[in-house]
Amino acid sequence: MKKKAVYPGTFDPLTFGHLDIIKRGSKLFDTVTILLAKNRQKNTLFTLEERIEQIKMILEEEKLTGRVNVDCFQGLLVDYCKQKDINIILRGLRPMADFDYEFEMAMTNRGLNSSIETVFITTDQNFFYLRSSLIKDIAVMGGDISSMVPSSIEDSIKSKLANR
C-alpha cells in the first residue's frame, strides 16, 4: 500500500522551513500533498490562489512534482484524508512555541479519526527560527529575507508590498 501523507498549513508564504519539511517528508512517504484550507478565517498577505501558484512553481524549481503536489480543501482535514485515502498528517515541529498547538491538533484529529496518524518532523537547526509572519514583518521594514524564502517568493512579497 502506498504511504500517502498530507502536509496542511497556511503557507503565507512558503519558507525554507516548510520546504525542508516537504523534502524530508517526500523521502519518507510515496506522496506528499501540501494542503491549504479554503475556509480559514486568517488574514493572509497572499490569496489562496496566489499561494497555490507560488507552491506549484517551487515544486517545479525543486523537481519535486510527481511525488509532491498541492491542493486546497474546505472542511475538516480528517474528511479530506478519508476522501483521498490518506492516513498520515505531516507537520513540522519547531522548539517551544509549536508544541502545545501541534499536540492539541494531533489529539483532536486523532479523536475525530483514530486511523489517521500525525507524524512530526523536527525542524532543521538552520530553519527553526523561520516563521512566515516574522518574515513578512522583516520584509515590510526592508530587511533581507533572501536566506528565509525561495527567491520567487521573495519577489512575490516585494511586489505585493509595493502594490499595497
Q: How many C-beta atoms lie closer than 10 Å to residue 58's C-beta?
A: 23
Is 42 one of the catalytic residues?
A: yes
Q: Which residues pair with 8 in a beta bridge?
A: 35
* CB distance 123 to 20 below 8 Å: yes
How many angstroms separate the CA atoms of 94 and 98, rounded? 6
Helix (H, G, I), strand (E, B) or coil at 6: strand
Nearest approach, Cβ of residue 143 and ligand ADP (Å): 17
Q: Which helix (H) or strand (E) holds 26?
A: helix 16-28
Is 84 one of the catalytic residues?
A: no
Answer for which of 98, 109, 145, 150 binds ligand ADP (CB under 6 A) is 98
Nearest approach, Cβ of residue 148 and ligand ADP (Å): 9
Catalytic annotation, pick one of 4, 67, 84, 94: 94
Exposed (0-12), middle (13-18) or buried (19+): which is 106, by Cβ within 10 Å?
middle
Nearest approach, Cβ of residue 37 and ligand ADP (Å): 8
The interface with ligand ADP within residues 12-71 (CB under 6 A) comprises 15, 17-18, 21
How many angstroms separate the CA atoms of 39 and 25, rounded? 25
Is 91 one of the catalytic residues?
A: no
Catalytic annotation, pick one of 2, 27, 38, 42: 42
Catalytic annotation, pick one of 18, 51, 91, 136: 18
When asked if residue 153 is in the footprint of ligand ADP (CB under 6 A), the reply is: no
* CB distance 142 to 120 below 8 Å: no
Number of residues forming the site for ligand ADP (CB under 6 A): 15
Answer for which of 127, 135, 139, 157 binds ligand ADP (CB under 6 A) is 127
How many angstroms separate the CA atoms of 159 and 99, rounded? 34
Taking the least distance from each CB to ligand ADP, the nearer of 9 and 57 is: 9
Which stretches of the chain bind ligand ADP, using CB under 6 A?
Answer: 9-11, 15, 17-18, 21, 91-92, 94, 98, 123, 127, 130, 132
Catalytic residues: 18, 42, 94, 132
